[in-house]
Structure formats: structure tokens, C-alpha cells
A and B are shown apart, each in its own frame.
Chain A
Amino acid sequence: MELCDIPAYELSLLLRQKQISAEEITRACLERIDAVDGRSGALDSGSLTPEDEQKVHAFITITRESALNQARAVDQKLAAGDDPGLLAGIPFTTKDIFCVRGTPSTAASRILANYTAPYTATPVTRMEAAGAVMLGKVNLDEFTYGSSNESSAFQPAPRNPWNPAHVPGGSSGGSASSVAAGEAALSLGTDTAGSIRQPAAFCGVVGVKPTYGRVSRYGLIAFGSSLDCPGPVARNVVDAALMLQVIAGADPRDSTAANVPVPDYLAQLDGGVKGLRIGLSPDYFRIAFPDPQTGEYREQPLPVDIETPVLRAAEVLASLGAEIVEDVPMPNTRYGIPAYFVISRVEAASNLHRYDGVKYGYRTPQRTGDLTKLYRQTRNEGFGLQPKLRILMGMYVSAAQYSAQYYQRALRVRTLIRRDFEQAFDRSGKYRLDALLTPTTPTTAFKMGAVYGDSVLMQYADQLTVPANHAGIPGLSLPGGLDAERLPVGIQLLGPDFSEDMLLRIGRAYELATQTEDWRKVKPLVLR
């Protein structure tokens, strides 16, 4: 096994035993990148070659030199007998929605393509302070607006390492694909409606959407500020726990970051599931959407390939001593997407105001003496289709005459969704769940081009993940098997506020119990 495929926690051990060096690990990852990534995403990059279609294209910027320098610094610390930090020498990638001082921080948008951040986002600062080695900035949907990465202004867009004809999911597609392909052990992603969990499910890796406020948003280029959560993408639960340990915690630069102590996630990881109550809800085994013609809600059961791994996971957990609670009602799940449509777009439209061509980023090359024209031209040329759609809808539903009807109503729906969870997790309620077990996504990774452009359908890909964002609760997606096309299927665990330790513990128990199953031995196509 190559170094770049070894779990972070094992690398950490080998490093401390001086069996390997941080530089060797970094070089192994850089070699893997050279082997499988192909050309990095860029503006106006021309049409795809057949070779492009076989590559991962996770990156926008590879920070080769600074990565090697960081790795050497770790080796020096180790040689000097200093504590190099919890993630010493572990290579990671950063979704290019985070500002990192001195690197292009593009949000995968033309409007920020020339923007070099003058400061570093808190989660990245914490990763680097813990000795982790940043290999570069990875691709995403433009401003995170999407579930496939196809909307990136930086093409070629990332592809799914399990089958490059399929999307890696999104918006943290570069994060999930870079980790799945062994280009990095860890990646820092963001989740606004499922943007960590959905690509993690599509790429067969572990993704954690922490409780809102568990990880600081400082330096995260905002999408839906009340929904955005930075979080880890990793290849196993232990690595995810390690990374969360490092990035979680209060931050004086983010007043919405919670002042709640960070537990020792690793200490409790092997606590098992005996006596835990884990719920299943029928509302997470169907997809509900309003009929485009009539507006009536229609329901559709999930494919068997999606349902089966979840039910199997429930059996595994039951066999380990967990109590499975069936038929937990989560009746407001179906309103998650419409409410998300409204709330996220109102926030997004406002968050995008600052990209006006005045201070930084793209400015139209056309000379205009008129301020309004400067704004219009700049934003028209600088933003891609997805930001424009969000601006239009966000402006519309927050207008004074519509706000009560849409925005205020969506906020009420959000409260109802939160209430569903509160009732399910209520310690003295009917269900008293420790966690809810669900599928992560309604489908496995779709083919590139299959859904893109149909924004509404793309959004319904988030139906099972977005409720956690509305409620602010944590969610964990982990590999649960493969479908008939040998594409990964994700299973999701949702828990009450700040129950990441519990979710990781359940995830770890499941992971260990299924370690030797055949599907775990299958490698992504690009590595076969």
C-alpha cells in the first residue's frame, strides 16, 4: 500500500515512530496527484480531451512548494523532539471557498479568479497549527452553488474517482474526490445543504457536517451564512474525528461559533453502540417534491440500492447492541428544500453584493463612466449561471412586498423542521433517539451532464441532508456499500446539537464491524 492510501491516524503513528518522514508522505501525495488528477481547473480552459475524461481534476491550485516546506518543518520538529501537533505531516486539501493567505481564493468563480486572500480562514489556521500539510485548494461548484461541481468556472470540473464519467457530487466535490483518490488524507469542506455529506457519499468517503457553530466560519466565503458549516472529509471515521478535534471550537473572530467545550472525540470513539437508540424514519426513505404543474406534493420511494445499505447498517448496529427504533415521524422533512431555496438565496444574494468590481476581484475591462454600468457589466461577466439564479431569486423573495410570503414563511418552516428533531431526540419524549440513521442521498453519483442545468432537480439531491442544516444539528455520512454500478452509497447519521462524538462513535462501530466486507476491498476506478 502506498503512503498516500494509508489512513491519517496510521501515518501519524508511523511518523512518530520515525519509520517515515512527513516529506515522504507529502511527496507520495504529490505523485498521486500527478498520476491521477490531470490538469487543474482553470478559466477558459478549452474543451475536454479524452484524457481529461479519465482524470479526477480535484484541484484549482496545487501549493507544491509550500507543502514540501511545511512537511520539512514537521520533520525538523520531530527530529528536535518537539511536539509537531495532532495532525503533523498529514496532507490535506482545502475547498477553494476558504481564504488562505497568499493563495488564490477563487470560490471557483471568475469574479474572484484574480483574488489572493490577505488572511487565512480559522479552520485552515488550526489545521496548519496542528502540523497538517496543505497540498492545495480544490474545486467546487461556483460559490458552492450546486451538487455536482459542474458549475465551477474552473474547468475541467472534478470527476468521481469511482467512475470519472460520473460527478463527484458537490459542492465539496474537489474535497471528496481528492480524498477518495488518495491525493490527500483529509480535506476541509463546507456543508450548507449537504455539500460535505453528499459528495462524501458519492465518492465513498466519510464526511462530517458539524453542529452549526461547532467550527468557525471565519474565512469561509459565505453562501448561506445561517446554514454554512465547515467540516472534515476523510477516508475513515478515526481520521474525521482527528480532524474535527483540530478545527472545532470557539473563535473570537466568529461570534456565531459556539462557546461549547470540545470533547475528546478520539477518547470516546471506541465506546461502541450498546444501549444506544438509533431511529429510522419513513420520511427519509422517500423523496417528496412539488409537481411542477400542479404544485401538489408527489412522493417517490428511494431506489433499493440506496435503501438496502441503510437497513443493513441498522442490522449491523442492532447486532452490536443498539436498539433500533422504527417509524420515527419526521413530517417536515419534505419542506426542507423549498424553505432552503428561499433562505439560502436571500442570504446568498446579500453575500454576493460585495463582488462589485470596485475593491478586488474581476472588473469589466470595458471602460464605463457610469457606476451602475460598472456594477452591471462586472457582475454580468464575472458571475456564472448559478450565482445569477441565486441573486435573482434571493432579490425577489426578500423584496419588501414578498418577504412575508416567502422569507418569513421559510423561517417558520425551519423552526418546524428543528422541532421534528427535537421531538425525536427528546430525552424524555416518545423516541429518545441518540441518532437517526438515514440514507445520505436519494441516488448514487449521477453521470456528468445528466442533471446539470435543471436546478430544481439538482436541489432535490439535497433533500435528505438539508434538514440538518435547517436545524443546525450535526450529520455524518459514511460509506455503506456499492450499488449495482459499483458506485458508493452513503449512509447518514444525524444527532442532536453537539453530538458529533456520539455520531463518530456509532460510525466507528459500524466501520469496524464491516471492515472485512467484500465491498470495502473494491478500489475507485482511477486507482484500479
Chain B
Amino acid sequence: MNDYEAVIGLETHIQLNTTTKIFCACKADSWFDPPNTNICPVCTGMPGVLPVLNKAAVEKGVVLASAMHAEIRPLSYFDRKNYFYPDLPKGYQISQYDQSLAFGGYLDLPVPPANGQPAYIRKVSIHKLHLEEDAGKTKNAGNERLIDFNRCGVPLVEMVTGPDLRSADEAAQYLMRLRQLLRWLGVSEADMEKGHLRCDANVSIRPRGAAYLNPKTEIKNVNSIEAVRSAIEKEIERQIREVEAGHRIEAWTLEWDEDAGVLRKMRSKETEADYRYFREPDLLPIRLDDAWKADILKALPELPLVRRQRFMDAYGLPEYDADILTSERNLSNYFESAVKAYGSDPKRVSNYLMNDVLRMLNESSKTADQLRLTPLFLAEIIKLADTGAVNTSTAKSLLQKVEESGKAPAEIVAAEGLAKVSDDSAIRAVCLEVLAESPKEVESYKAGKVTLMGWFVGQVMKKMRGKADPTLARTILEELLA
């Protein structure tokens, strides 16, 4: 392997999460609907129908293009891509060809350290970025071929990277970062299993350090990031074996068989299909004037990788924390709000989030913005713990109580009498009580088994239902046992 490097480009299809389809008013998401229920004359290609552009699809495309640092064209066109297939009811797909919504762009992909290699940034260029409509689905049922047109006309962005990725891991990282970005921007659900994010991979190998490109194969039908990783790994291994054996790599199209974990040859790609592209005469060009563009981009959030870096720089968070806290936009917003409300030590807030709030999110499958434990409440609880008003274990249980009740932490503390007891005499009385009830332990302690101190403190805490200041209890116990 060391003699070769892999050259990988990814062709992704991203389903935009608009309410309606790109050229008609049908519902776009049909995941839970029976076949052929979200259809109309337009998306089933009846004679005489015309497409009408859904502006929301353009807007989401512009947001994505901008996040990928792509150049957005003020004037772009739709074109017809002509071919026959039963799931393509018009016999052409409305797509964009030479003057698409955007061009260029890149993603600075952070690649984590692995196998003794330090972390690095891989710059992944974007070759193509355009809007198009999805086709339907066909499936075989006995002797018949069934067609579901629900997906026809669902808006897609096709985004193609340059041949910039160098390993299966990098490809997987790219897809993870892309998925994170799409959800962050709110332009796609980006669920590969549901086909919101689809990926074909072009793979070739060459001697390490070479600048030329060898013939590539195209891997289709990969439905998860893990599958993309495995399929590319397998294909790189195969190509190396072929080359080592003195064979040529031929430009095949391969299909990933998920169950068997193997690649199968779909067809040889001798000639490029001629789609006879020409301008779609039924649609006007997309005129993206400055006002519209500004309006779309005013909602563009800080990008996840930028925020990740900022969390490290501005808050002094370790990369690990920053990565997790920016994995999802709501979570990172939550963190920042909590830090702001708390006023100091972002790492302390991060610890609470990473340990407790994340578990809460996982268990409830809520997003951070849906928590009743608001960033303000979280900050308040941490402060209560800081000032010693409640002890640490009370603070942790408060998190759950606030989330369940939606009440302010102070209110719960007052109502349930959870405040830490720092009154010397009250604790002293309980301490005496405990010592009186435990003559054996007192004897052992005095005989030198000082580790029993923890047990005595625990007994005091138990009697006071956790409210005692454990430090104070320890001091009193030490005094009494001296």
C-alpha cells in the first residue's frame, strides 16, 4: 500500500428539505407515505404540463453553495438532460448544465490523527454544484416492474468534489462533515439511509507522489458512511492487486452489495452517454439579484468548522470538547448561551454539557433547543454548586429535575429544601448521633482505620438527605473523633 496512493472523488446528491417539490406543489417528503400518493400532473409528466420553480429550493441551494465557498452565479439556467427510463416520466430530467447555480468552492476537511499520523487538513475542492429534480423509484415484483413517482421532482443539489481525497477514511470524514454541515445549515435532513444524502465514489490509484490520474472506477449504491468507507477500501485493495498482477484498471461501474460486503461490476463504461443537454425552455433563468442573495444569506450561520476553531481559540476548549460541542448547531448555540449566562470558565460549562446534558439529549432524542433545562438554568445550577449553595450531587440531580418540571433551579431547591446545610450546630448534632449509633466503627477508627472517615461522612450525608456540606461534616467528625 505504501507504494500507492488512492485518488478519490465523491459525487453527492443532496435532497433539500423543502416542504414542496421543486417544480410543483406536491409534498416533497414521502418517507412515510404509500407509493404514488404525493403526485400530480406536473411531476408525473402528463402531456402539456409545465414546471414552476420553487424558490425555497434555490434559496437552500444558495445557502449550501455559500457555505462551500462556491461562486454563486447571478444568472443561472436550467437545462434538460434527455434519457429514457421508466422512473423519469418526462423522458428528461430538469437539471443545470453549463451555467449552474454555483461553481468552484472547497471544504477544509480536518482529518483526525490515526495510526500514529498527526491530525491534518485536507482541502477538498468542489467541481460542480447544481440544482436538479429527483427521479422516481422502480422495483421488481415478480414479472412486473412497479414505479413509484413520489420522489419525482424532489429537489436535489448535485455536488461533485475534485479527485482530492486520498483514503477511504478521508472519504468517510468528508461525508461526516458534509452531513454535519447540511444539518447545521438546515438545508437537508442528510440521512444516508433514507436517501437524503447519496454518494457515488470515483476511485483510482497511482504511485505515491505521482501527479497524473489513472482510469477510475465508479462505485454506486452505497447507503451509509460506513459502507462508503468499506467499499472504497475494498476497491483500493482490488486495484492494487490488479496493478501488482500487471493488469490494467478498466473504467467499470461497480455496485456495492451491502449484505455481502462486496463490489459487483454493473457495466463497462466504454462511451459517455449523450444526454443532449439544452436549455429548458419552460423555465426562466434564475436571476439572483443582490437583494435576494443578501436576504438569503443574512440567515447564514457561522459554519461548524469555524465555530469549532473559535471554541478552541476563544474559550480555550480542548479540540475534543470543541468537536463534540459543534457537532450540531443547536448544541453549540446552547453551549455559547450557557457560557454567556455563567460568565466564566467555559470548560466547566463544557464538562456539564459533555457529561450530563449530552446524556440527557441522547436519552430523550431531543435537540438542545428543545430542552426545558435552558442554558440559563444550567448556568444557574453550576453557580449554585460553585457557591456551595448545593453540593455537586444535588446539582446533578437538579439538572434532571429542572428538565422534568421546567421550573427554575432556585425554585426547586427552595421547595424541596435541597439547600446545602452549612450550619455547624445542625451538622454537629447529626454527627454526634452517627457516632453514638456506631460504637464499633468508632473503635476501629480510633484503632487506626482512618479510612472509615468516608463512611462516617456518608452516614451523616444520608441522614441529612444529601444536604450537608460534606467538608464541614468531615471537619466536625475529625474534631469529635480526635
Contact = CB atoms under 8 A, between A and B. Distances in A.
Contact of A403 (B49, B92, B276): B276
A218 B50 contact: yes
A255 interface: yes
B44 A359 contact: yes
Interface string A83-116: 0000000000000001100000101000010010
Contacts of A360: 46
Given A98-B48, A115-B47, A255 B283 contact: yes
Given A350-B80, A403-B276, A226 B281 contact: yes
A371 B86 contact: yes
B281 A353 contact: no
Interface stretch (A126-134, A323-331, A392-400): A392-400
A398 B86 contact: no
Interface in B33-60: 41, 44-53
Top-9 shortest CB links A-B: A353-B91, A226-B281, A225-B281, A398-B276, A221-B47, A219-B48, A99-B48, A221-B48, A354-B45
Contacts of B50: 217-218, 253-256
11 contacts: A118-B46, A218-B49, A219-B49, A221-B48, A255-B51, A255-B282, A349-B82, A375-B84, A398-B82, A399-B274, A399-B276
B281 A347 contact: yes
B82 A353 contact: yes
Contacts of B84: 353, 356, 375
A121 B48 contact: yes
B89 interface: yes
Contact of A117 (B47, B147, B274): B47
A13 interface: no
B130 interface: no
B63 to A, nearest CB: 22
A43 interface: no
B481 to A, nearest CB: 87
Contacts of A254: 50, 52
A353 B90 contact: yes
A400 B282 contact: no
Contacts of A403: 276, 278
A349 B91 CA distance: 10
Nearest to B81: A350
Contacts of A400: 274, 276
Interface string B80-101: 1010101001111000000000
A119 interface: yes
A395 B276 contact: yes
B274 to A, nearest CB: 5
A360 B90 CA distance: 12
A417 interface: no
A220 interface: yes
A354 B89 contact: yes
Contact of A346 (B52, B147, B278, B282): B278
Interface in B401-457: none
Given A219-B48, A221-B48, A354-B45, A255 B86 contact: no
A354 B91 contact: yes
B181 to A, nearest CB: 31
B92 A353 contact: yes
Contacts of B480: none
A354 B92 CA distance: 8
Contacts of B281: 224-226, 256, 347
A260 to B, nearest CB: 14
B236 to A, nearest CB: 32
B282 A107 contact: no
Interface string B269-308: 0000010101001111000000000000000000000000
A84 to B, nearest CB: 28
A358 interface: yes
Nearest to A107: B47
Given A119-B41, A255-B50, 13 more contacts: A99-B48, A118-B46, A119-B46, A119-B49, A255-B284, A346-B278, A347-B281, A350-B82, A350-B276, A354-B90, A358-B86, A398-B82, A399-B274
Contacts of B276: 346, 350, 395, 398-400, 403
A441 B52 CA distance: 36
Contacts of A398: 82, 276, 278
Interface string A338-355: 000000001101101111
B92 A112 contact: no
Interface residues of A, number: 44
Contacts of B145: 371
Kindly state the interface size class of chain B when it binds its partner: 20 to 34
A407 interface: yes
Interface of A: 98-99, 105, 107, 112, 115, 117-119, 121, 217-222, 224-226, 252-256, 346-347, 349-350, 352-356, 358-360, 371, 375, 395, 398-400, 403, 407
Interface centre among A98, A353, A355, A360 (most CB of B within 10 A): A353
Interface centre among A98, A217, A355, A358 (most CB of B within 10 A): A358
A105 B47 contact: yes
A99 B50 CA distance: 12
Contacts of B283: 255-256
Contacts of B91: 350, 352-354, 356
Nearest to A407: B278
Contacts of B41: 118-119
B89 A220 contact: no
A112 B278 contact: no
Contacts of A221: 47-48
A322 to B, nearest CB: 36
Contacts of A346: 276, 278
Interface centre among B89, B278, B284 (most CB of A within 10 A): B278
B90 A225 contact: no
Contacts of B53: 255
B47 A253 contact: no
Interface string B9-53: 000000000000000000000000000000001001111111111
Contacts of B278: 346-347, 350, 398, 403, 407
A372 to B, nearest CB: 8
B50 to A, nearest CB: 5
B341 to A, nearest CB: 48
B90 A220 contact: no
A359 B45 CA distance: 9
B367 to A, nearest CB: 36
A218 B89 contact: no
Given A256-B284, A350-B82, A99 B46 contact: yes
A352 B283 CA distance: 18
A76 B91 CA distance: 46
A115 B47 CA distance: 9
A121 B49 CA distance: 9
A110 to B, nearest CB: 14
Nearest to A401: B274
Nearest to A358: B86
Contacts of A355: 47
Contacts of B51: 255
Interface string B189-232: 00000000000000000000000000000000000000000000
Interface centre among B48, B50, B89, B282 (most CB of A within 10 A): B48
Nearest to A219: B48
A94 to B, nearest CB: 12
B45 to A, nearest CB: 5
Contacts of B86: 356, 358, 371
A398 to B, nearest CB: 4
A327 B147 CA distance: 60
Given A99-B46, A395-B276, A358 B92 contact: no
Nearest to B53: A255
A471 to B, nearest CB: 15
Contacts of B282: 222, 225, 255-256
A324 to B, nearest CB: 37
B292 to A, nearest CB: 16
A358 B53 CA distance: 26
Contacts of B80: 350
